[in-house]
Amino acid sequence: MASIRKQKSGRWRVQVRRKGRAVSETFVRYEDAKAWAVDAERQIDRGETPRQSQVARVKTFGQLVDLHVADMASVGKAPRRSKDAVLKALKKSLGRKTIAEMDREAIIQFGKARAVDRRGKGTPLAV
């Protein structure tokens, strides 16, 4: 049986101990923690090594954008035209950056470039 506990940070830590094996993950949403715990228990029962969650496998900002789009589609709310365009632009511009490389300045520079690049219609943002 899995143990799911809320941490001081507000995140959920899952620990699965089964058949002499122990694995753990941390999640922002309780539902994700619970789903991963059930999946990890099933994998251990089949003699497999439990996989990391999708979020733990994310290494680049582009992968994070893809995960966000997939999450939206899974609840029947695929991004509409405007949001889809912004997400594609974000992925094109910042998609290769690792999560650790993402910072406020990168996002500000993206916003400034996007404001100017809107087919000559925009003006640079004043920051």
Mean confidence (pLDDT) of the chain: 84
pLDDT tens across 17-46, in order? 988 888 888 888 899 899 999 999 999 899
pTM of the entire predicted model:
0.53
On the question of pLDDT at 4 being above 80, the answer is: yes
pLDDT tens across 74-125, in order? 778 888 898 898 899 999 999 999 878 888 898 898 888 888 876 555 444 4
Q: Is 9 exposed, middle or buried (0-12, 13-18, 19+ CB in 10 A)?
A: exposed
* Percent of the chain residues topping a pLDDT of 70: 88
Q: What six digits make up the tokens of 124?
A: 């640079």
Question: What's residue 68's pLDDT?
Answer: 86
On the question of pLDDT at 50 being above 90, the answer is: no
**Residue 64: CA atoms inside 13 Å, Cβ hemisphere, count?**
13
Question: What's residue 56's pLDDT?
Answer: 64
Question: What's residue 16's pLDDT?
Answer: 92
Q: Which long-range contacts (C-beta less than 8 Å, at least 24 apart) are formed by 111-114?
A: 114/89
Question: What's residue 120's pLDDT?
Answer: 54
The phi and psi torsions of 110 (rounded to 5 degrees) equal -60, -45
